[in-house]
Amino acid sequence: MSQPWTPPLLPDAAFEASSQAVDRALSRAFPRLMDVAALLSPEASRRLEDLAAVAAAQTLRHFGRSRLLFTPLYVANFCQNHCRYCGYAAHVAMPRLRLSLEEVAAEGERIAATGLRHLLLLTGEAPQRAGVDYILDCIRLLAPRFPGLALEVFALTEADYARAAQAGATALTLYQETYVPSVYRAMHPAGPKANYRFRLEAPARAAAAGLPSVTLGVLLGFSPWRQDVLALVAHAWHLLERFPGLEVGVSLPRLRPHAGGFAAPYPVADRDFVHAIVALRLALPMAGITLSTREAPRLRDGLVRLAATKLSAGVRTSVGSVAGSEQFAICDTRSVAEMAAMLRQQGLQPVFKDWQPLGEAREQAA
């Protein structure tokens, strides 16, 4: 049996690159690992405009002028984990809720009325309060309305991912948060999420179970960003090699203020954030890049021209519509209509549907 995959964690010195190395990396259709290190280097940062030009051309070539809009729906915030940075962590005092299936259906109707057809379903990790069966019930309820139904829930087994796919889920979003094991341990001191490898291997389990799309990510702010972004690229490459037909997307959420009051030890400046996003486009030319409402409108409006292809809109991070239960504070509060208008103003086409799921129940509903 082959060795389990382990992310490459390069030391800081590996990110020192010459201008020639950056040129070489920019000229490759599919950069290699050391090319990506060069693209993330301080030298590349000084040449951000060059990187942005190539990234914008790649994005135009592979995605044209269309950009997908979606929205999250938090259905429960019970959680056993003690993630130090999360507003839903077990130790944070906040109202704990789980939507009834009637409430889930009503939220689904409300969101579908905005025209969106891609939904991201989220929960905390509390199998006794909002476990797999509850999540499957939510999927079955929402699937007829949402041809793109992604899960952002705790890491599941392959069998449970298969059940989710069967029920109508079409994608997985699961962020490793950080690929650095020591930092991961420090940030996830207790609860099931403390199992680094179970989470690391979850996207592969989802792909093996038949989910056609996975989105990976790291939460920027825990540790020096270059190392984690490079490991994220390597993870995406690993999945593409193992599952050549899999649609692999990436995202780089930045830590935001939340009810737990955690301060990022390595905050990532706007310029570095943009650098990381355009480097992702160069490393993964075909990958969808998701940009959340953690980012400010001005930044999102700029990055949608360069690299971002999926944007959330009309976002609430509360459970359903319940005020006071927010996971974190968002920065871009624009509605679906406002986001669509922004895209049109930039000569881009807002796309509400970009997947046609198959499955007997789905085909009958269609």
Binding mask 98-117 for other proteins (x = CB under 8 A): --------------x----x
Give the whole-angstrom CA distance, residue 347 versus residue 70: 19
> CA-CA distances (angstroms) from residue 241 to 11, 207, 236?
25, 12, 9
Residues contacting residue 342 through CB under 8 Å, at least 6 positions apart = 297, 301, 334
Q: For residues 138-167, which are near other proteins according to CB under 8 A?
A: 145, 147
Give the whole-angstrom CA distance, residue 214 versus residue 216: 7
Q: Is 190 in the site for other proteins (CB under 8 A)?
A: no
Q: Is 198 in the site for other proteins (CB under 8 A)?
A: no
> By CB neighbour count within 10 A (0-12 exposed, 13-18 middle, 19+ buried), where does 64 fall?
exposed
What are the E-state strand segments in 156-246? 171-173, 213-217
Give the whole-angstrom CA distance, residue 315 versus residue 294: 10
Q: At closest approach, how far in Å is the CB of 362 from other proteins?
A: 9
Q: Is 238 in the site for other proteins (CB under 8 A)?
A: no
Q: Is 301 in the site for other proteins (CB under 8 A)?
A: no
Let me know: does 138 contact 110? Beta carbons within 8 Å.
no
Which residue's structure tokens are 């689904």?
108
Q: Name the residue nearer to other proteins (CB basis): 141 or 255.
A: 141
Q: At closest approach, how far in Å is the CB of 86 from other proteins?
A: 31
Report which of 236, 324, 326 is spatially closest to residue 281, judged by C-alpha positions: 236
Binding mask 208-227 for other proteins (x = CB under 8 A): ----x---------------
Q: For residues 4-23, which are near other proteins according to CB under 8 A?
A: none
Give the one residue of 125, 247, 295, 301 binding other proteins; rule: CB under 8 A.
247
DSSP 207: H
Give the one residue of 47, 84, 238, 353 binding other proteins; rule: CB under 8 A.
353
Q: At closest approach, how far in Å is the CB of 286 from other proteins?
A: 6
> Which one of 54-62, 78-86, 98-106, 190-198 is the stretch in contact with other proteins (CB under 8 A)?
54-62
Q: Name the residue nearer to other proteins (CB basis): 5 or 355.
A: 355
Q: Is 32 in the site for other proteins (CB under 8 A)?
A: no
Report which of 127, 98, 136, 264 is spatially closest to residue 191, judged by C-alpha positions: 127
Give the whole-angstrom CA distance, residue 249 versus residue 252: 11
* Contact residues: other proteins, CB under 8 A: 30, 60-66, 112, 117, 145, 147, 212, 240, 244-248, 286, 344, 347-349, 351-356, 358, 363, 366
